[in-house]
Chain A
Amino acid sequence: MATTPAPASTRPDGDRMIVNMGPSHPVTHGTLHIVLELEGEFIVKATPNIGYLHRGVEKLGENLSYQQFIPLTDRLNYCSSLMNNVGYTLAVEKLLGIQDPPRSQVLRVLCSELARIGDHLVCIGINAVDIGAFTAFLYLFKERETIYDLFEMMAGQRLHSSFTRIGGLFRDIPAEFEPLCEQFLESCPRTVDEMESLLTHNPIWADRTKGVGAITPENAISWGYTGPCLRAAGVPQDLRKAQPYLGYESYEFDIPVATTGDIYDRYLVRTEEMRQSLRIVRQCLDRLRQIGPGPVIIEDYKIALPPKEKVYTRMESLIHHFKLIMHGMEMPVGEVYGATEAANGELGFYIVSHGAKSPYRIHVRPPCYPIFNSFDEQVRGRIIADAVAVLGGMNVIAGELDR
């Protein structure tokens, strides 16, 4: 079914049918609109129409202080908000030329990898549901629930975590975190295995995904693909290995790479990435035990707020607190581009500072934006059901797409 070629267009143009997919449609996961031009069952043109979730994040960022921008990053990729927090604070820290304490670095890696697992669980689960395989979704979302419980312990919130601060984290993890995380490390691999037994050798799943959305490495690079979609096409590009940050070079993990770039390969890459992320989480927990308790935010009170008990008892800390809230940090003049490997690919923040309290210009480079740009090419000559599979395999998150 999936490999049926499109017929050579013999019909006159007037025979085309226009189908609107979205803006509110079960497969669009967020609000996006695709205008499909059909000839019979086959798509001859797909025009994505985006911007329904445009909030003007970049414009707001120009008028907020650097700390105030952190909650806005939660809402970019809302399936893995912790990773956006980490990416943004790393970009600001690059601008400032500072590094967070070792314990905070390990915790940032830990929460990034948990968020990556959560994101991939959603992506695969939803992709399967869209195609008609409902069961895998239920297994996967049980694990996602545990991940959100862990996030709640860390940050106090499940979805919009705002966990990081410039120079570290806003608090350490509680004592109950570790037992639950250990439990998660036990149960998650089993769930991934269960999911694989439901999907990997499932002939219907293979029929619907193999060959759909296939892309050559050269083409994927030209489209600006990053992340699992690029690795599925055979390019072993992962910023955690290629341009390590947060000490990723000291963790043991592998980068899965596939060959054809189709939806099935993207699924396999994401599945293996979850297993690799679990390996990293394991190493993080061991390291946290090794490092022991310690500061999770730098003690430079011109950048990070002093602890509350000091603010209430010491004059100097109160002044620091007041200065930081009212006047912000002393920022250097310059521009940086900070990129991290988010679940979908390269998440970049381009920040131009003129030395003021708020950035002069802040730009977000969302990973799924260039990937979704190629949607027309990916579905042209295919049937609507393939468009659904491709949309799920791209993991388009409207929050980061429209900003």
Chain B
Amino acid sequence: MVTERIDAQLPGAVLDRHAFRGDETVVVAGERFLEVVDFIFGEGFQLLVDVTAVDLETRDPRFDVVYHFLNLASQARLRIKLPVAEAAPVPSLVSRFKSADWAEREVFDLFGIPFEGHPNLKRLLMWEDFPGHPLRKDFPLDGGDPFCSQDIGASYAPEARTLNP
């Protein structure tokens, strides 16, 4: 298994791991992340399927950046999770995987997580001066006040956060 080989080659890089319904997940410390990615790239995980994030709101650090890798030779999948605090930069994978380009821009756009080393880190799905980051848990479900006709703080009230308040 690749998770054991990561442990053997890069001791201390993996903070936690679990397998649920056959999905292998490793939680990696931010400063060792690029080493782990380079190692699994050599192991054959060369297709970066997806990059996304999860806002855990009350946990510290607040976000998990989630990477899904696929090994085309063995058809194994690996999920790498990277816990990051708010506004803490994450190393960009654009120089290693071209598909990281839009994937990271989307995470930046919707979660406000900055990627260090990304050549063109701009909003992708939302427009340039859109206030806030929609997929954060404290962003109002009705979209808030995107055209800033009022003070934006008002729409962040707890009752604006569910479909049926």
- Of B8-16, B29-37, B122-130, B147-155, the one with at least 4 CB within 8 A of chain A: B122-130
| A56 interface hit (Cβ, 8 Å) | yes
Chain B residue numbers with a CB within 8 Å of A361 are: 54-55
Chain A residue numbers with a CB within 8 Å of B77 are: 337
Beyond A51-B125, A224-B49, whether A360 also contacts B54 by CB under 8 A is yes
Chain B residue numbers with a CB within 8 Å of A370 are: 99, 102-103
| A373 interface hit (Cβ, 8 Å) | yes
User: Binary interface profile of A, 166-197, with partner B (CB < 8 Å = 1, else 0)?
Assistant: 00000000000000000000000000000000
| A242 interface hit (Cβ, 8 Å) | yes
| A336 interface hit (Cβ, 8 Å) | yes
Q: Is the CB–CB distance between B98 and A59 below 8 Å?
A: no
Chain A residue numbers with a CB within 8 Å of B124 are: 50-51
Beyond A224-B48, A242-B75, A335-B23, whether A63 also contacts B98 by CB under 8 A is no
Residue of B nearest to A218 (CB): B46
The docked-state distance in angstroms from the alpha carbon of A102 to that of B25 is 31
How many cross-chain pairs have Cβ atoms below 8 Å apart between A and B? 92
A348: contacting residue among B49, B72, B163, CB under 8 A: B49
Beyond A50-B124, A51-B126, whether A335 also contacts B97 by CB under 8 A is no
Which chain B residues numbered 129 to 147 have a C-beta less than 8 Å away from chain A? Answer: 134-135, 139, 141, 143
| A235 interface hit (Cβ, 8 Å) | yes
Beyond A334-B21, A373-B102, whether A235 also contacts B72 by CB under 8 A is yes
Beyond A337-B77, A350-B52, A352-B54, whether A56 also contacts B99 by CB under 8 A is no
Residue of A nearest to B46 (CB): A221
Which chain A residues numbered 342 to 371 have a C-beta less than 8 Å away from chain B? Answer: 346, 348, 350, 352, 360-361, 363, 365, 369-370
Q: Is the CB–CB distance between A373 and B54 below 8 Å?
A: no
| A374 interface hit (Cβ, 8 Å) | yes
| A134 interface hit (Cβ, 8 Å) | no
| A130 interface hit (Cβ, 8 Å) | no
Beyond A64-B163, A235-B72, whether A350 also contacts B66 by CB under 8 A is yes
Q: Is the CB–CB distance between A363 and B72 below 8 Å?
A: no
The docked-state distance in angstroms from the alpha carbon of A226 to that of B68 is 14
A335: contacting residue among B25, B48, B125, CB under 8 A: B25
User: Binary interface profile of B, 87-104, with partner A (CB < 8 Å = 1, else 0)?
Assistant: 000000000011101110
Q: Is the CB–CB distance between A243 and B54 below 8 Å?
A: no
Q: Is the CB–CB distance between A224 and B47 below 8 Å?
A: yes
Give min CB distance, B5 to chain A, whole Å.
21
Chain B residue numbers with a CB within 8 Å of A334 are: 20-21
Chain B residue numbers with a CB within 8 Å of A237 are: 72
| A299 interface hit (Cβ, 8 Å) | no
Beyond A63-B163, A221-B46, A360-B54, whether A337 also contacts B20 by CB under 8 A is no
Q: Is the CB–CB distance between A223 and B20 below 8 Å?
A: no
Give min CB distance, A147 to chain B, whole Å.
29
Chain B residue numbers with a CB within 8 Å of A336 are: 20-21, 23
Chain A residue numbers with a CB within 8 Å of B48 are: 224
A346: contacting residue among B49, B66, B98, CB under 8 A: B49
Give min CB distance, B76 to chain A, whole Å.
10
Residue of B nearest to A376 (CB): B101
Q: Is the CB–CB distance between A97 and B72 below 8 Å?
A: no
Beyond A348-B50, A348-B68, A365-B49, whether A222 also contacts B23 by CB under 8 A is no
Which of the listed residues B47, B72, B77, B103 has the most CB atoms from chain A within 10 Å of its own CB?
Answer: B47
* Seed contacts A56-B134, A221-B46, A337-B77; 18 additional CB < 8 Å A-B pairs: A54-B126, A56-B143, A60-B141, A63-B163, A221-B72, A222-B99, A334-B21, A336-B20, A336-B23, A337-B79, A350-B68, A360-B54, A365-B49, A365-B50, A369-B103, A370-B99, A370-B103, A373-B99
B-binding residues in A (CB < 8 A) = 50-51, 54, 56, 58-60, 63-64, 94-95, 97, 219, 221-224, 226, 235, 237, 242-243, 334-337, 339, 346, 348, 350, 352, 360-361, 363, 365, 369-370, 373-374, 402-403
A-binding residues in B (CB < 8 A) = 20-21, 23, 25, 46-50, 52, 54-55, 66, 68, 72, 75, 77, 79, 97-99, 101-103, 110, 124-127, 134-135, 139, 141, 143, 162-163
25 A-B pairs with C-beta separation under 8 A: A50-B124, A51-B124, A51-B126, A54-B126, A56-B134, A58-B110, A59-B134, A64-B163, A221-B46, A222-B99, A224-B47, A224-B97, A224-B103, A335-B20, A335-B25, A336-B20, A336-B21, A350-B66, A352-B54, A365-B49, A365-B50, A369-B102, A370-B99, A370-B103, A402-B125
Closest 7 pairs between A and B when the two form their complex, measured CB to CB: A224-B99, A51-B125, A334-B20, A365-B50, A373-B102, A370-B99, A363-B52
